[in-house]
């Protein structure tokens, strides 16, 4: 559009808004725009411009990075690339594959049709929605629900914020903030709440160690020689471990008592399962004691022996050996899952109640697990990775944690020193940028931002702890599904970043009437 056309459009828009505000109606004979045709034309224009922005997003990002780098260079008094190019008579025009270049090319191809400017408020909303549609479809999906989440919601919020701040210096910023807030709210539309995982006690009960299991294991007879060989290997392990006389006597009595029972009632899979529980009882309840260490070692050895039994070792079973062995192995695996879940539940419970705050409490409790090598050996590689993430966090959660040091306490924490420092730092920065007014704004803004970051860091810690809990409670069968879900989450994360960039770009470049008039 020529400057004269832009100025005329700005005047027309201002007159129309005054007329709408005063409840005046202009007759169609005086050029009242047709709302239906304006909405249709504006929407098509918006879709075309949004598609150009989507295609040119990499180039637009590159332009933004270059602009930021040159700003830093100017602040440091260093020559910039564009200045160097100008010295050779070359004008730096930016990335040739940016969204602005694609929009200009599209305008040329359509004879200026994609430069159509809305004549009504409904048309302005229609154009903004159209601009958001291509990005929403590309990174959210083409379903009506996803288009509502990732296109309609941020577009309406952005345009509403722009309408409220029109003809002011705040309009571009209001549109960006509106788009981001609308996108965040839209992402919550129709989201199904994940079911709560079962408790550790429920998992252990589901192992099925009841009367039916006991009867089945008793019927799965093994030879007495098989049982004696397993007990002999366990006793040899106790003696070769270099344990004290008291420890040897403790486990020796346990093994001897179990052998006597087998001689009375015969050997079976139930005898081996009862031996396992007896070894656990002989180990006591305190972690890291000599008895507990030996008990864990013997139980692992016994489990390996049972896993290596074949159907021939339990040939007397009415069901045939292999099915009963499979039932026992599955039950043991489920029970081990429940025991590991108990460890995680205790860590989460203690972390949520920590006086230092939820985030610090959760990180600390999972760090304790991470540092306990004996406990960690019981977890799979995927489970260990989830525990490590819950203990240490990732880049984004650590960044929020650092920024949160300038905020006020939001949970059990009682330290207000960070918010005091945040207020002082924010006031100093604001004063340097905007004098007394900037100091007042900065003194409030930085603690507010820090508090929001602290809330985000706390939620990130809770989410990461919940991921570890859900993964461990899912058992071995859940490992593959978790890996697939983790990959999908990473893809979704990248798409969310790109979608936010598109939303910001679409919102920021909508000019105001005042800009047209200039």
Query: What DSSP assignment string belongs to 397-454?
Result: HHHHHHHGGGS---SS----HHHHHHHHHHHHHHHHHHHHHHHHHHHHHHHHHHHHHH
Distance CA 221, CA 338 (A): 28
| Two structure tokens written together for 505 | 């770009």
Q: What is the pLDDT of residue 333?
A: 83
Between the alpha carbon of residue 455 and those of residues 258, 363, 408, 485, 493, the distances in Å are 56, 15, 10, 25, 20
* Terminal Cα-to-Cα distance of the chain (whole angstroms): 13
- 327 within 8 A of 343, measured Cβ to Cβ: no
Distance CA 235, CA 301 (A): 11
Which of these, 113, 123, 114, lies nearest to 36 by C-alpha position?
123
Distance CA 164, CA 254 (A): 80
- 359 within 8 A of 458, measured Cβ to Cβ: yes
Distance CA 491, CA 508 (A): 26
Which of these, 126, 104, 156, lies nearest to 33 by C-alpha position?
126
Listed by start position, the domains of the chain span 3-23+34-56+98-192+508-517, 200-339, 356-480
Q: What is the pLDDT of residue 349?
A: 92
Q: What is the pLDDT of residue 132?
A: 86
pLDDT by residue for the chain (518 residues), tens digit each? 444 554 555 555 555 555 554 444 444 444 567 888 888 888 888 888 888 887 877 777 666 666 667 766 777 777 776 777 666 665 556 667 777 778 888 888 888 888 888 888 888 898 888 888 888 777 666 777 778 877 888 888 888 988 887 777 677 767 777 777 787 777 666 655 556 778 888 888 887 777 777 887 887 788 888 899 999 999 998 888 777 888 888 899 999 999 999 888 888 888 888 998 899 888 876 555 778 888 888 988 888 888 788 766 775 455 555 677 777 878 888 888 888 999 999 999 999 888 878 888 999 999 999 999 878 988 888 889 889 999 998 877 777 777 666 666 666 444 444 444 444 444 444 444 444 544 444 444 556 666 777 777 888 888 889 888 888 888 776 666 656 655 665 566 556 656 655 655 555 554 443 433 34
| Two structure tokens written together for 137 | 């479809």
Secondary structure (DSSP) of 205-221: HHT--SHHHHHHHHHSB
**Could you give the 3-state DSSP secondary structure of residue 380?**
coil
Burial of 239 per CB tally in 10 Å (0-12, 13-18, 19+): exposed
Residue written as tokens 């830093």? 72
Distance CA 163, CA 118 (A): 13
- 151 within 8 A of 128, measured Cβ to Cβ: no
Q: What is the pLDDT of residue 496?
A: 61
Per DSSP, helices labelled H in 110-167 are 121-140, 144-147, 153-164
Distance CA 499, CA 53 (A): 11
pTM for the whole structure: 0.52
Q: What is the pLDDT of residue 497?
A: 58
Task: Go through 27-51 and write b for each residue having 16 or more CB atoms within 10 A of its CB, e for each that does not.
Answer: eeeeeebeeeebbebbbbbbbbbbb
- 427 within 8 A of 420, measured Cβ to Cβ: no
Secondary structure (DSSP) of 90-105: ------TTSHHHHHHH
| Two structure tokens written together for 472 | 């461990």
């Amino acid at each position: 559009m020529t400057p004269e056309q832009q100025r005329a459009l700005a005047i027309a828009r201002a007159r129309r808004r005054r007329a709408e505000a005063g409840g005046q109606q202009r007759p169609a004979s005086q050029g009242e725009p047709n709302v239906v045709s304006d909405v249709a034309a504006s929407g098509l224009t918006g879709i075309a411009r949004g598609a150009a922005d989507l295609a040119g997003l990499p180039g637009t990002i590159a332009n933004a990075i270059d602009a930021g780098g040159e700003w830093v260079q100017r602040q440091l008094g260093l020559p910039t690339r564009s200045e160097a190019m100008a010295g050779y008579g070359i004008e730096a025009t930016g990335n040739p594959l940016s969204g602005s270049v694609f929009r200009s090319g599209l305008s040329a191809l359509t004879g200026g049709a994609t430069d159509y400017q809305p004549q009504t408020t409904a048309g302005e909303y229609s154009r903004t929605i159209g601009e958001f549609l291509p990005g929403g479809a590309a990174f959210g999906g083409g379903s009506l629900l996803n288009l509502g989440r990732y296109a309609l919601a941020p577009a309406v919020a952005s345009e509403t914020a722009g309408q409220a701040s029109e003809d002011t210096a705040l309009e571009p910023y209001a549109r960006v903030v509106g788009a981001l807030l609308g996108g965040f709210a839209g992402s919550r539309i129709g989201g199904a709440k994940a079911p709560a995982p079962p408790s550790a006690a429920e998992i252990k009960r589901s192992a099925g160690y009841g009367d039916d299991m006991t009867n089945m294991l008793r019927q799965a007879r093994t030879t007495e020689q098989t049982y004696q060989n397993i007990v002999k290997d366990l006793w040899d392990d106790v003696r070769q471990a270099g344990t004290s006389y008291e420890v040897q006597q403790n486990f020796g009595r346990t093994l001897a008592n179990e052998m006597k029972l087998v001689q009375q009632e015969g050997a079976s899979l139930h005898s081996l399962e009862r031996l396992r529980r007896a070894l656990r009882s002989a180990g006591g309840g305190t972690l890291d004691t000599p008895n507990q260490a030996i008990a864990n070692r013997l139980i692992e050895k016994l489990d390996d022996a049972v896993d290596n039994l074949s159907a021939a070792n339990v040939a007397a079973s009415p069901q045939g050996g292999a099915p009963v062995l499979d039932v026992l192995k599955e039950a043991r695996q489920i029970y081990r899952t429940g025991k590991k879940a108990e460890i995680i539940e205790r860590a989460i419970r203690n972390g949520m109640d920590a006086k230092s705050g939820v985030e610090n409490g959760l990180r600390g409790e999972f760090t304790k697990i991470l540092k306990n090598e004996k406990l960690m050996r019981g977890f799979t590689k995927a489970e260990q990775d989830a525990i490590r993430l819950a203990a240490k966090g990732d880049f984004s959660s650590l960044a929020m944690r650092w920024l949160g040091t300038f905020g006020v306490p939001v949970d059990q924490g009682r330290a207000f020193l960070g918010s005091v420092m945040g207020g002082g730092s924010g006031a100093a920065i604001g004063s340097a940028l905007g004098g007394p007014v900037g100091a007042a704004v900065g003194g409030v803004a930085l603690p507010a931002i820090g508090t929001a970051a602290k809330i985000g860091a706390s939620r990130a810690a809770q989410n990461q702890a919940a991921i570890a809990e859900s993964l461990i409670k899912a058992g071995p069968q859940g490992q593959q599904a978790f890996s697939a879900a983790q990959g999908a989450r990473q893809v979704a994360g990248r798409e969310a970043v790109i979608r936010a960039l598109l939303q910001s770009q679409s919102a920021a470049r909508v000019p105001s009437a005042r800009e047209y008039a200039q």
